[in-house]
Structure 1
Amino acid sequence: MNIQKMYTAVDVHVNGEAFRVIKDVPCKYYYNLEQLNEQFSSELAEEMQLLLNEPRGFIGLNGCIVVPSIHTEVDAAVLFFNHEGSIPLHYGGIVAVITMLLESGYLKKRETNQYKIETLSGIFSVHAYVENDEVVSVSFESKLCYLIEKNLQVENISYSLIQADKVYAVVEKGAYSPEICIENISELKKWGEVTLQTIQKQLLINRLILVDSSQKEKNHIKSITFHEDNFIVRSPGFVSTIVSYVHALFKNDYMADKPFINESICNSFITVEKVKREETGYIFRFESRGFITGVQTFLLDPTDPFPAGFLLK
């Protein structure tokens, strides 16, 4: 075999979301992370597709490129990307990156358990607790999340609009929506597609969250997130969780001084706490954990008929 290119990556899963963390990238001089992101988005576009697409990846896989930060007080800088291209921030990616750096020895454990990670959305102060050389807990604060409008109506659908990394439509589970369980995955996909298309007749959005609040007395919900391309997020989702929390707070159905639990269709959980209320919205604290699932070396043979891979949706 003629090996044209070789890449090594660490795979990490965080609450069911998969991340491919890449540290060995070409050295680049840069004066800010935005400029480096522009370079990598053009120069490494093929590599990004190669590592995320099938047969090496799959549609739900996220990418993280880790580089040294230009700020002396920051432990690492990270660029996030997915099949659509570069993304400014992925909370689960922060958990994946700090887990990989500490468990692989790139970062040394500190007595303070405090580390700093730079992203396109700013620098995050991260608490990572290590026991027996294993990261057992990672926590940090979110960016601002706020309500745009509630009690909107289109046809028989009532929904709220909430701003996080994107604008999300949030719909409460009712008589016309399926139960959020893995057995209903096909029915849920059809419901999500039709509902999102209906809302899009009124507003241009590409994210929809269905929330089951039947356990609201326990500060516990179950949710599922739909993308415009008919992709379903199997994990609870960090952003989906805080968006659902903001939706719940404005309904006055939940105890704001207690942890809020979001359960996924696969029965995994994310727990968040409200840290503070700003003038326009809320900031939350996440606590989660990442698990390294493999260290892999990927090869590209120049005779491979799919040099950028392919994607089944």
Structure 2
Amino acid sequence: MKMARMLTAVEAHAEGEGGRVITGGMPLLKGNSVFEKMRYLEAHHDDIRLLMLREPRGNPALCCNAIVPPCDPTADAGFIVMEQTEYAPMSGSNAICVTTVLLETGIVPMVEPETVLRLEAPAGVIEVRATCRNGKVERVEFENVPAFVAHLDVPLDVPGFGTVEVSIAWGGMWFVIAEARAFGIDPVAENGGACVRAIEAMRHAAVEQYPVSHPDNHDLRGPTIGQIVAPPIDEGTHGRGAISVSSGPFDPSRPEALSGALDRSPCGTGTCAKMAVLHARGELAVGQDYVNASPIGTRFTGRIERVTRVGDYDAIVPSLSGRGWIAGVSQWMLDPSDPFPQGFTIGDIWG
């Protein structure tokens, strides 16, 4: 059997969000940082992202990670996040999946009751603490990259929805954030289609009206992702929301067309961006926990550890914790005669 490519992956999820982790078969990626390796992967081997995330091997809600050697001498491992339309510089749910896979498969030795390790993401190095018992990672907590607000409570003209008040914030990715009530939507699972349409329309408008770039790395432009937020409904939570992971370009002439999928988790970078907005409004203090719920009721716990500065912006240093599970191990192959070497998309769910 002749194969053009064979990749070994561990199938995992963090609070419901699928985060496939490639542990074998990746090509050599060149670069002096994991960010540079991410750009090399994007430029020379983007077929791997398409192969893993598009049908028939993937689905619109799936993320994928490649474990790579770190470049920072203090890091234990590096990882690159691949999403449907972009390479995310950081992701909380994917960091939890990667940590769970690294420790439960023995790539990084597990120490009970707590393993401390450092992971190099394209956005920077994060310190991770994993609570472990009987060979299982029970919870992952990490200190994220600093989060900050570029635009707070500004008007955004969203085609098909009118003028909506939004904030643009960095939490490891650039988010545009609005109240769900501005769209007349309750961000629960059964309203997923309506959430995606509103968020994608908002994101597309924000890119045109409020383009942003990270002051420490101007290649990190946005907003590339959006979320709508709402008050809590479950005891023990402080808020909830819905995040759309884009699966295709938004067509403003057809706002009814789906072009994304809901993040099944509460979204780690989204929670951090949301905390930055709340802190900027004076609604969340340093040291205060913030439990964020997803459309399916799963939870991440965030906390502002301290304040800092990023360029000209006041920023917070957030921590985030959640749980991850391994669901299986797979080997993905590409037959040279396969008519779909880069997968395919269909408009019923892909947009």
TM-score when normalising by structure 1: 0.87
Question: Among residues 100, 112, 115, which one is paired with 1:113 in the alignment?
Answer: 115
Cα 1:252/1:197, change in 2 over 3 Å: same
Following the alignment from structure 1 to structure 2, what is the Cα–Cα distance between the partners of residues 113 and 45?
33
Following the alignment from structure 2 to structure 1, what is the Cα–Cα distance between the partners of residues 40 and 181?
47
Cα 1:282/1:295, change in 2 over 3 Å: same
Q: Read off the aligned partner of 2:317 and give its amino acid letter.
A: I
Following the alignment from structure 2 to structure 1, what is the Cα–Cα distance between the partners of residues 30 and 230?
48
For 2:151, the equivalent position in structure 1 comes to: 149
Q: Read off the aligned partner of 2:274 and give its amino acid letter.
A: S
Following the alignment from structure 2 to structure 1, what is the Cα–Cα distance between the partners of residues 87 and 183?
36
Taking only the aligned residue pairs, the percentage that are identical comes to 23
Following the alignment from structure 1 to structure 2, what is the Cα–Cα distance between the partners of residues 297 and 217?
41
Tell me if the contact between 1:216 and 1:254 (Cα under 8 Å) persists in the aligned partners: no
1:212 aligns with 2:213: no
Question: Among residues 243, 260, 263, which one is paired with 2:290 in the alignment?
Answer: 260
Q: Give a deviation string over 1:65-92, Cα, whole Å, max 9, x none.
A: 1133355543212222223343322222
Q: Which moved more, 1:147-156 or 1:56-65?
A: 147-156
Alpha-carbon shift at residue 167 of structure 1 (Å): 3.4
Q: Which moved more, 1:66-75 or 1:6-15?
A: 66-75
For 1:223, the equivalent position in structure 2 comes to: 241
Q: Which moved more, 1:190-199 or 1:44-53?
A: 190-199
Name structure 2 gaps, 5 residues minimum. Answer: 157-161, 212-222, 251-258
Following the alignment from structure 2 to structure 1, what is the Cα–Cα distance between the partners of residues 18 and 339?
26
Alpha-carbon shift at residue 99 of structure 1 (Å): 0.9
For 2:316, the equivalent position in structure 1 comes to: 282
For 2:198, the equivalent position in structure 1 comes to: 191
Name structure 1 gaps, 5 residues minimum. Answer: none
Cα 1:7/1:192, change in 2 over 3 Å: closer
Structure of greater Rg: 1
The alignment's C-alpha RMSD in Å is 2.8
For 1:16, the equivalent position in structure 2 comes to: 16
Cα 1:77/1:187, change in 2 over 3 Å: closer
Alpha-carbon shift at residue 291 of structure 1 (Å): 0.6
Q: Read off the aligned partner of 1:11 and give its amino acid letter.
A: E
TM-score when normalising by structure 2: 0.79
Cα 1:96/1:12, change in 2 over 3 Å: same
Cα 1:54/1:16, change in 2 over 3 Å: same
Tell me if the contact between 2:299 and 2:322 (Cα under 8 Å) persists in the aligned partners: no
Following the alignment from structure 2 to structure 1, what is the Cα–Cα distance between the partners of residues 210 and 324?
36
Q: Read off the aligned partner of 1:49 and give its amino acid letter.
A: L
Question: Among residues 114, 122, 125, which one is paired with 1:123 in the alignment?
Answer: 125
For 1:301, the equivalent position in structure 2 comes to: 335
SS in 2 for 1:113: strand
Following the alignment from structure 1 to structure 2, what is the Cα–Cα distance between the partners of residues 264 and 217?
14
- The number of equivalent residue pairs is 313
Alpha-carbon shift at residue 218 of structure 1 (Å): 6.4
